Amino acid sequence: MYTTFGAFKLQKKSNKKKFTRFELTFDEFYIGDQEDMLPASEAKGFLLVDKKDKQTSFYLDINGNGKLNKKRDLLVATDGYEKALYKSKKGSLHATNSEEAMIDALTGLIGAPPPEESNFMIETGLIVTNKKGKTIDFLPLEPGGEGLSPIMCMMNPQLVQESEEVFERWKNRCAETGFELV
């Protein structure tokens, strides 16, 4: 199980164009039962909530300039619109492939657990909570943990360098998403 934690805060809101942009930072990275991967850097990016198009997009700031460039920054996920996130000012982020955490988040968001007969098909997700810890949005990420790979690679976890075999596996995984581990 992979888990990253971070936070977001309001960067810009335009009532005229009906969008809100948040800066986000992931600074904690764990594998399994909370084994700290000792990230050497933070993964930074943006959440763009478009009220007009009813869409939320999650970008990673791969060029590190602190500005959203839709053509150059990496689009990780796009999903529907949640009014609570649009109105929010700051909160927490939790990107994970833990089915239990994702079901709990969806339960908090929709007010009831997903029906048992609807086989839970989401493998990775981004859970967005307000400053009180209430789930205000959930964005499914790419299957197979690939949605988490850019976040994890951008954080440059130091524990993967303890074993040459693990380092090579991570190096290849990160190269596939456009990041280079050093």
**Distance from the Cα of residue 73 to its chain's centroid:** 14
- 79 inside domain: yes
- 53 inside domain: yes
Q: Which tokens belong to 117?
A: 């007969």
pLDDT at residue 114 in the model: 75
Residue 113 CB contacts under 8 Å (≥ 6 apart), including other chains: 103, 106, 107
- 181 inside domain: no
Render pLDDT for 109-149 as a digit per residue (tens, 0 to 9): 888 887 776 566 778 889 999 999 999 999 988 765 567 88
Render pLDDT for 16-35 as a digit per residue (tens, 0 to 9): 899 999 999 999 999 887 77
Regarding predicted confidence, which is higher, 173 or 33? 173
Backbone angles phi, psi at 65, to 5 degrees: -95, -5
- 73 inside domain: yes
The domain total for the chain is 1
pLDDT at residue 119 in the model: 60
pLDDT at residue 84 in the model: 93
- 65 inside domain: yes
Range of 99's domain? 2-176
What average pLDDT is seen over the chain?
A: 87
Residue 128 CB contacts under 8 Å (≥ 6 apart), including other chains: 8, 47, 85, 91, 92, 93, 135, 136, 137, 138, 139
